[in-house]
Chain A
Amino acid sequence: MLQFIAKRLAMLVATLLVASFAIYGALYLAPGSPIAALTGGRTLPPEVMAQIEARYHLNEPFLTRYWLWLTAAVHGDLGESIPLHESVNTLIAQRIGTTLQLVLFASILIVMFGVSLGIIGALGRGAVDTGVLFASTVSAALPAFAAAVILQFIFGVMLGWFPVLGTGEGFVDTVKHLTLPAIALAATSTALVTRVTRTAVREELDREHVQTAVSRGLPWSDVVRRHVLRNAAIPITTVVGITIASLIALSAVVETAFALNGLGAYLVQAAQNKDFAVVQGISLVLVVAFVITNVVVDIAYALLDPRVSLGSRAQ
């Protein structure tokens, strides 16, 4: 197990290294000088230009600049936004909380509703199952931005139950402000988790070892808990983990739709303003979060399934 984790961590570091290079390199290739964004097209005296270039290492060769950026990033310094004259760390720190809360809230919804509806659908056949299938089919076809718009209209504009824009103050108000965004973010994933759970539980119900448990006269609740759900937990955990990882990038859409002051929405703004240091910084943070979530999923998978051969995730 330790060897497995070590191997996954090594792959993680390698992936992040290449990914950071790609992020930095892509933005380096971008046409137009970062100074143009700063000066807004005005011509500056050469001394000032030189000063700026020295300050942001703009004259150094690419690899040197990448190295400087990477070592700083590893030490927790993501550089400075040229147009805003502000540390990227500060900009991120102001917003990461909202994104974390949003993703966490949505994850809770996904696990709570996705898994339980899937189990209910698989165990209760007939009308219950049809209802679950129908609900998950509708919700699966609802992209986050579409869900956002519909929720805003129904629960914000028509019913007035929830605020439609902005981040709240204090716990209750924050939850209130994040409820619709979290539902919008969770809609598609909940449907996916419901379906996978339903299929996994149903497949497990048909397994021979479950028949053995039944044949031994064990109570049905024990059979379901100790054999059906325990074994179905393996694919369910994997899909829950992967969908939660996918929320990290998708949060940009929901944050923009609900005007939340989060990392994703800010990344989009920075991309529009060509604030490269911020784009690099936030991209790096999101990629790290995404990759780490995936590694955690892999490790959870290995812990849940004693048969897992090291380093492979079942498809």
Chain B
Amino acid sequence: MSIEILDPVAEVIDNAPANRRIPKLGFLGWLSVAVIALALFLAIFGPMLAPYDPTLSNLSYSNVGPIAGHPLGFDDQGRDVLSRLMAGARTTIFGAAFVSLIAIFVGTALALLTAWFGGKTDTFISAALDVLFAFPGILLAVVAAAVFGPSLLSAGLALSIAYSPYVARVLRGAALKERAMTYISALEVQGFGAWRLTLRHLLPNISALIVAQGTILFGFAMVDLAAISFLGLGVQSPNADWGVMVSEGKTSLLQGYPLVSLSAVVCIVSVVAAVSFLGDRLESNSRGGNR
């Protein structure tokens, strides 16, 4: 080689520190992490730490605003709003986590299957996924509520099924790319089995993308689950849940007492915003990291 083709700009980038174990998140990124951590803390300990019984109603306090000891006041049933928010974090957060975990698991499995076997398996699974794409998550959840009765479980399962094809489609591309790498065929020729190669090489190499997808999905799941509970087809009143609280507070809101609905909306929106911000960051990091 007499003449090296070097791009001055590329070189400047190459000189950047190579080891980035801790992802670069920036201020907003760390703020998002903090919001999510708080949400997780509430999901685990919220029901125990709630100052009052979230379902205990005292109609003489119906729609009474903030007073000493009750910083967010009471809802129309005279229940303590702060306690309901703290207790409601559990179904809201864990529900969304459950949906995204199942969808990620099923989606990843399908993606790895199609990428590894290709051919007819790929065609068949892809066709099946195309059909599933015809069902928007919310529609599937409504049908599930009609069949199994309205509950968090039926809504969650319906959403997991509806999300899986999206995960599978995104990851299939990445897995196929990795599958086509020569090092995989080199290992294959050396007699390494499909299981080992898939789990030890394909999977770790798309793991950053899986984490990013999971985070983004968690945001979607929270919004959709809350929407379904809002419709009365998910978590059932009087159980506390942020989506349920938005709908419970609506009558009062239209009468001019918005605290219940709006405080639940603020909780949902801040967690969703944090999750989607973090998800975008992780995704652009994971894509940028693919040389």
A287 partner residues in chain B, CB cutoff 8 A:
134-135, 139
Further 5 A-B residue pairs, CB within 8 A, beyond A137-B273, A287-B135: A16-B134, A30-B148, A141-B272, A146-B269, A149-B261
Kindly report which residue of chain B lies nearest to residue A253, judged by CB atoms: B227
A152 partner residues in chain B, CB cutoff 8 A:
250, 253-254
The CA of A165 and the CA of B258, in the complex, are separated in Å by 16
The CA of A246 and the CA of B133, in the complex, are separated in Å by 11
Number of interface residues of A (CB under 8 A): 52
B193 within 8 Å of A by Cβ? Answer: no
A137 partner residues in chain B, CB cutoff 8 A:
273, 277
Given contacts A143-B268, A149-B261, A271-B233, contact A249 B139 (CB under 8 A): yes
Residues 268-293 of chain A, each 1 if its beta carbon lies under 8 Å from chain B, else 0: 10111010100100010011001100
B254 partner residues in chain A, CB cutoff 8 A:
152, 156-157, 164-165
Secondary structure class of chain A's binding surface, majority of residues? helix
Q: What is the distance, in angstroms, from B172's C-beta to the closest C-beta of chain A?
A: 10
Tell me whether A257 and B230 are in contact (CB under 8 A).
yes
The CA of A107 and the CA of B148, in the complex, are separated in Å by 33
Tell me whether A272 and B232 are in contact (CB under 8 A).
yes
B184 within 8 Å of A by Cβ? Answer: no
Interface residues of B (CB under 8 A from A): 130-131, 133-139, 142-148, 150, 169-170, 173, 223, 226-227, 230-233, 243, 246-247, 249-250, 253-256, 258, 261-262, 265, 268-269, 272-273, 276-277
Residues 138-174 of chain A, each 1 if its beta carbon lies under 8 Å from chain B, else 0: 0011111110011011001100000011000000000
Q: List 9 A-B contacts (CB under 8 A).
A: A18-B131, A19-B131, A30-B148, A141-B273, A146-B269, A157-B255, A248-B136, A287-B135, A291-B134
The CA of A83 and the CA of B132, in the complex, are separated in Å by 30
A127 within 8 Å of B by Cβ? Answer: no
Tell me whether A270 and B146 are in contact (CB under 8 A).
yes
The CA of A142 and the CA of B276, in the complex, are separated in Å by 11
Kindly report which residue of chain A lies nearest to residue B220, judged by CB atoms: A143
Given contacts A143-B223, A279-B146, contact A253 B138 (CB under 8 A): yes
The CA of A14 and the CA of B246, in the complex, are separated in Å by 40
A252 within 8 Å of B by Cβ? Answer: yes
Kindly report which residue of chain A lies nearest to residue B173, judged by CB atoms: A315
B247 partner residues in chain A, CB cutoff 8 A:
145
A23 within 8 Å of B by Cβ? Answer: yes
Tell me whether A27 and B130 are in contact (CB under 8 A).
no
Residues 73-95 of chain A, each 1 if its beta carbon lies under 8 Å from chain B, else 0: 00000000000000000000000
A63 within 8 Å of B by Cβ? Answer: no
The CA of A274 and the CA of B149, in the complex, are separated in Å by 9
Tell me whether B258 and A146 are in contact (CB under 8 A).
no
B243 partner residues in chain A, CB cutoff 8 A:
145
A19 partner residues in chain B, CB cutoff 8 A:
131, 134-135
